[in-house]
Amino acid sequence: MDQQTTRLSLPSEPRTFGFHVDGRDVPAGEREVFVRHSPAHDVPVTRTVACTPADVDDAVAAARAAFDDRRWAGLGGADRAAVLLRAAALLRERVDEIAYWETLENGKPIAQARGEVSGCVGMFELAAGLARTLHGDTFNNVGDDALSLVMREPVGVVGVVTPWNFPFLILCERVPYILASGNAVVAKPSEFTSATTLILADILRAAGLPAGVFNVVTGTGPTVGQAMLEHRDVDMVSFTGSTRTGRAVVEASARSNFKKLGLELGGKNPQIVFADADLDDAADGVAFGIAFNSGQCCVSGSRLIVERAVADAFARKVADKLARIRTGDPLDEATQAGAITTEAQNRAILDYIEKGKAEGATLAMGGTAMDLGRGRFIAPTVFTDVTPDMTIARDEIFGPVLTILPFDTLDEAVEMANDTEYGLAASVWSKDIDTAMAVSRRVRAGRFWVNTTLAGGPELPIGGFKASGWGREAGMMGVEEYTQVKSVHIAFGPRQHWID
Ligand code: NDP
């Protein structure tokens, strides 16, 4: 691999952000300010506002007004597409800037961050096309005196609550599609990673999105996020995060106005490797699937389910790959794995590793924090002798921790893959088309990869089966998800009277 050795420098002082309501940046004023420290460097990098529930009210009111007066929903799809395409162009110009702040707040490698942000350009471009092609249906077969239409309308004011693991990517897997049909948005990024959501507000304003159509409130989940969930003027919430908070989202919806929900929650995703796979390719994929973003990824391939005949040899191949990952300063172009984003997550991963050992699994590699002089890093970790009932085989760890479970038959592999409350993603590695197709049909997951992992484009809808969530994001389904369907039955000609 062609490795560059350049390293970006840290900012001389933290960048200060306001929040964004009705097209304006609102400074902190008397409000509390969060200072975010880079998880890889332990230095302050950004300052964001701890918004209050009153700020949420203001943001929702701005979105409500923007939606109700149809300044955006009332435009033709072509006009909305023009704004989304301008946003894509402006985003392309600011890829380096967005990637830099994403890396500083999140700890992910700069090259990875740049790749993610560049990928978001395509999401805006695709959503622009979808704004023009979104359509309903007609029934011209209901008699000469009638016509029936099935129309899609934007759902209204949409709250978007996003997590800290892919702050910009997850935002852009939703916002352009939500805007495509004419909705108004109030976004609530994680308090740990708010910067790039605020930069997107600036880009959308510069692209000509009318004021009030995209608003951002920053602050904590329990205060700001919860206020949005409870708000009766919010018509729908898209929530991405833990299954635990997902439950609170459903309860808040039921308590308030039964707002429509999109939920993308946890995963405990299987990587099923058959003996007839290209084992070198599969080992690379499995290592990538667990170590990408330091395992802080809802679609991480955290459960390796491997055919017993090759299990030991394959485990050695995976360990060899994992041992060669370049973990380090995320501002270094050559780094492949960066820091653990939050202190709570760092503790949670290390606790799971201890639990794995205590419950009798064998620690085959890693299992410790890495001392790089500063920041929070965890070595890629592999457990063998894992049984399906162990905590590390069942819980989403959200770190670079792989569990290995051997199987003997295809049926057993499928059963193990489905033996989880989750159903977000899965991979199969086999050169036998019959095997690959049988497994892809039987594993219950919203995303499925054959001989690859963590792949795909913005055309493909994403979302989960079972406790991994409700609804789909991205692609045309990601636009339709944020619409309501209205049936319109039109009568013409003289009415046949019911009362003579
Ligand atoms: P949370 O579910 O708490 O956080 C996700 C988002 O929800 C953040 O924006 C958070 O805000 C917000 N939030 C938190 N509480 C509320 C609330 N009561 N009402 C509305 N919004 C709320 O996840 P954690 O950060 O605590 O991570 C814990 C675990 O969740 C991880 O270990 C991982 O297993 C899983 N997770 C899964 C993700 C996924 O992509 N599916 C993403 C992140 C985590 P804030 O951060 O400001 O508190």
Task: Please name the residues in contact with 300: beta carbons below 8 A apart, sequence gap of 6 or more.
Answer: 267, 269, 289, 290, 292, 293, 398
Residue 234 Cα distances to 19, 67, 397, angstroms: 19, 11, 32
Nearest CA to ligand 1 atom 38: 241
Are 120 and 258 part of one and the same domain?
yes
Are 250 and 274 part of one and the same domain?
no
- Bridge-based pairing of strands 469-470 and 137-139 is unpaired
Report the CATH number that the domain containing residue 310 is assigned in CATH.
3.40.309.10
Looking at residue 5, its pLDDT comes to 62
Is residue 61 in a domain?
A: yes
Looking at residue 1, its pLDDT comes to 38
Segment 296-325 mean pLDDT = 98
The answer to whether residue 173 is catalytic is: no
What is the strand order of the sheet 236-240 is part of?
24-26, 19-21, 214-216, 184-188, 157-161, 236-240, 260-264, 469-470
**Average pLDDT over the chain, rounded to an integer:** 97
Mutate to test the pocket of ligand 1, among 245, 253, 259, 268 (most ligand atoms within 8 A of CB): 245
Tell me the Ramachandran region of residue 461: left when phi exceeds 0, alpha when psi lies from -120 to 50, beta otherwise: beta
DSSP structure string for 24-63: EEE--TTS-EEEEEPTTT-SEEEEEE---HHHHHHHHHHH
Are 142 and 35 part of one and the same domain?
yes
Residue 226 CA: nearest ligand 1 atom is 19
**Which of 116, 125, 264, 481 is an active site residue?**
264
Segment 20-45 mean pLDDT = 98
Is residue 1 in a domain?
A: no
Are 185 and 306 part of one and the same domain?
no
For the stretch 382-399, pLDDT in tens is: 999 999 999 999 999 999
> What span, in angstroms and rounded, lies between the C-alpha atoms of 207 and 142?
44
Q: Give, in degrees to the nearest 5, the angle at Cα 452 between 446 and 456.
A: 55
Segment 445-458 mean pLDDT = 97
Is residue 496 in a domain?
A: no
For the stretch 183-208, pLDDT in tens is: 999 999 999 999 999 999 999 999 99
Among residues 302, 329, 310, 340, the alpha carbon closest in space to that of 417 is found at 302
Are 215 and 276 part of one and the same domain?
no
Q: Report the separation in Å between the CA atom of 165 and the middle of ligand 1, taken as the mean of its atom positions.
A: 10
Are 369 and 303 part of one and the same domain?
yes
Are 231 and 323 part of one and the same domain?
no
Is residue 5 in a domain?
A: no
Are 414 and 283 part of one and the same domain?
yes
Are 97 and 208 part of one and the same domain?
yes
For the stretch 432-442, pLDDT in tens is: 999 999 999 99
Report the CATH number that the domain containing residue 133 is assigned in CATH.
3.40.605.10
Among residues 228, 231, 232, 230, the alpha carbon closest in space to that of 216 is found at 228
Residue 248 CA: nearest ligand 1 atom is 18
The answer to whether residue 51 is catalytic is: no
Residue 297 CA: nearest ligand 1 atom is 40
pLDDT class of 2 with cuts at 50, 70, 90: very low
Q: Report the separation in Å between the CA atom of 13 and the middle of ligand 1, taken as the mean of its atom positions.
A: 28
Is residue 6 in a domain?
A: no
Is residue 410 in a domain?
A: yes
Is residue 355 in a domain?
A: yes
468: phi then psi, degrees, rounded to nearest 5: -85, -5
Q: Which residues are near ligand 1 (CB < 6 Å)? A: 161-165, 190-192, 220-222, 225-226, 229, 240-242, 245, 248, 264-266, 298, 345, 348, 396, 398
Are 275 and 256 part of one and the same domain?
no
pLDDT over threshold 90, residue 6: no
Are 24 and 134 part of one and the same domain?
yes
Mutate to test the pocket of ligand 1, among 190, 340, 422 (most ligand atoms within 8 A of CB): 190
> What span, in angstroms and rounded, lies between the C-alpha atoms of 121 and 370?
35
Q: Domain boundary at 405, 423, 450, which?
A: 450
Are 215 and 245 part of one and the same domain?
yes
Is residue 148 in a domain?
A: yes
Range of the domain at 417: 270-450
Q: Report the separation in Å between the CA atom of 102 and the middle of ligand 1, taken as the mean of its atom positions.
A: 17
Nearest CA to ligand 1 atom 15: 221
Q: Report the separation in Å between the CA atom of 248 and the middle of ligand 1, taken as the mean of its atom positions.
A: 11
Burial classification of residue 296, based on how many CB atoms lie within 10 Å of its CB (0-12 exposed, 13-18 middle, 19 or more buried): buried
Name the pTM for this structure.
0.97
Nearest CA to ligand 1 atom 32: 398
Domain count across the chain: 2
